Amino acid sequence: MLAPSETVKYKAQKIHRCLKENCDNKLFRFGSYQFMHELHQDGGIFFQSASNYKHSDNLSVKDDELQLQFIHYLSEKEQAEISGAKCFKYTVSSPDFLTLCFTDAINYRMIADWNAEAVVIIHEPDEFYNRLRVCTKQFQSNHTLLKRGSVRYIDPYFDGKTLIESEHLPFCKDYKFQYQQEYRFVICNEKQFSEQERKIYIGSLTDIATLVDLR
CB-based contacts of 135, cutoff 8 Å, min separation 6: 43, 200, 201, 202, 203
Domain interval for residue 179: 6-64+94-154+161-213
How far apart CA 196 and CA 81 sit, in angstroms, is 54
Q: Between these two residues, 68 and 128, which has the higher pLDDT value?
A: 128
Identify whether 80 is part of a domain.
no
- Single pTM value for the model: 0.88
How far apart CA 169 and CA 66 sit, in angstroms, is 7
Structural contact between residues 117 and 31, judged by C-beta atoms closer than 8 angstroms: yes
Identify whether 103 is part of a domain.
yes
Identify whether 78 is part of a domain.
no
Given the DSSP bridges, would you call strands 67-73 and 172-174 parallel, antiparallel or unpaired? unpaired
Identify whether 87 is part of a domain.
no
DSSP code of 158?
T
Identify whether 69 is part of a domain.
no
Identify whether 202 is part of a domain.
yes
Structural contact between residues 18 and 179, judged by C-beta atoms closer than 8 angstroms: no
Identify whether 71 is part of a domain.
no
Dump pLDDT digits (tens) for 161-212: 567 888 999 999 999 999 999 999 999 887 788 888 899 999 999 999 999 9
pLDDT of 148 reads 97
**Sequence-ordered alpha helix ranges (H) in the chain:** 6-18, 33-42, 76-81, 108-113, 125-135, 195-198
**Coil, helix or strand at residue 49:** strand
pLDDT of 27 reads 97
Percentage of residues of the chain with pLDDT beyond 90: 63
Identify whether 86 is part of a domain.
no
- The number of domains in the chain is 1
